[in-house]
Amino acid sequence: MEQQVQRTRRRLHVALVYNGDREGGPEHPEDRGGTNDLRTMIRHMAKSLRRAGNKVTVVPLARNLSAFQRKLRRLAPDVVFNQYDDVVHGALYEMRLQALVRMMGFPITGSPALALGLTRYKHMSASLLQGAGIRIPFCTDVLERVSDVDRRAWPFPLIVQPSQEHAGIGLDRTSIIHSKKALRDRTRIILKEFHQPVLVQSFLPGREFNVAIIGGRRLRVMPLAEIDYSQLPAEIPPIMSYAAKYIETAEEYKKTRVICPAEVEPELAREIISTALRAFRAVGAWGYGRVDIRLNSEGRPCVLEVNCNACLDDGVGMARQANHVGITYPRLLQMIVKAALEGQPYDADIPMI
């Protein structure tokens, strides 16, 4: 009997939650960032979590929050695997979903609501990182009106993007700015199209790295990945734009490579890793995440952003980096589940049902 209880305990019931809303606009087959690709990833993730020994129920959330809550309560999972990414309602829905699940009393993978919200507001997390003594790109500023451009002098080149997007949304060939007029034009376009403040930073010309971090109280850093832009023609700026990330037919996509593991001199690697770890902790991230880093003109690592619940698609990003130290995809997912069950030391577990 006791043995049976132990066995049951080991087999966790995981509720895999994702955004089941199909209102993301028309699907383009060459765009790997659409809902069809998301569904394929969720299916594969469920299969891999089962392979890791869990019972898995996939729970899409699409508009009907009460139905979602009823379902979750009925399932009473041991842990919720959070894959809720909201491109429809805007940056803050991810943190709201996380908070809701926590208030229902379930452990949930990845970062707490505070970190999810904070890091989706790029200018806020940048100021926090700077306040914590972590290097960020020089000249980071936020513009809420076109006339804000006249507030100060600007050292060009700059990179300009919507301040509350992710996944390269709002970044394209026009994002690197060399004049005040171009800054004004780009600001006007972003304010109109994205209805959100505009993030302006010095454009860092140096090498770019992704640092994948996994764990709760004890963090593990995966082998570094470097983005190689050397094949790009001169007219395409070396940045991880939406096209470079997702549009298979775009030159940006075809000519941007990821080198993993990256070849980095040990001293620089140490500086990159310690910067990333400090940034991860500073924003209150938990469980897993990816820190994007770029070197400034002096060769020093600066934090571009902390991606709290970073993409977990198999074979790319974090999963690829983990694979280089023998961490299989099912094991990676299980490590993330384990960090969720470990819980943050100061996060009280008091369900409000």
How many CA atoms lie within 13 Å of 84's alpha carbon, on the beta-carbon side? 32
- Cβ closest to ligand ADP, residue 48 vs residue 201: 201
Which of Mg ion, ligand ADP, none binds 239 (CB below 5-8 Å, type-dependent)? ligand ADP
Which of ligand ADP, Mg ion, none binds 201 (CB below 5-8 Å, type-dependent)? ligand ADP
208 binding Mg ion? (CB under 5 A): no
CB of residue 119 to Mg ion, shortest distance in Å: 10
Q: Which residue has the tokens 């809303």?
A: 21
Residues 202-231 that bind ligand ADP (CB under 6 A): 202-204, 208
Which tokens go with 195?
């209805």
- Cα–Cα distance for residue pair 204/202, rounded to 1 Å: 6
Closest-CA residue to 37 (of 14, 18, 52): 18
Stretch that binds ligand ADP, among 57-65, 127-135, 161-169, 277-285 (CB under 6 A): 161-169
Residues 277-316 that bind Mg ion (CB under 5 A): 292
Binding-site member from 52, 95, 100, 159 for ligand ADP (CB under 6 A)? 159
Q: Which residue has the tokens 């491109």?
A: 87
292 binding ligand ADP? (CB under 6 A): yes
Residue sitting closest to Mg ion (CB): 292
CB of residue 50 to Mg ion, shortest distance in Å: 31
DSSP letters along 40-90, please?
Answer: HHHHHHHHHHHHTT-EEEEEEE-S-HHHHHHHHHHH--SEEEEE---SSS-
Total residues in contact with ligand ADP, by rule CB under 6 A: 18
CB of residue 109 to Mg ion, shortest distance in Å: 20
Which of Mg ion, ligand ADP, none binds 204 (CB below 5-8 Å, type-dependent)? ligand ADP
304 binding ligand ADP? (CB under 6 A): yes
Which tokens go with 229?
């832009």
- Cα–Cα distance for residue pair 241/245, rounded to 1 Å: 6
- Cα–Cα distance for residue pair 273/136, rounded to 1 Å: 15
The DSSP call for residue 232 is S
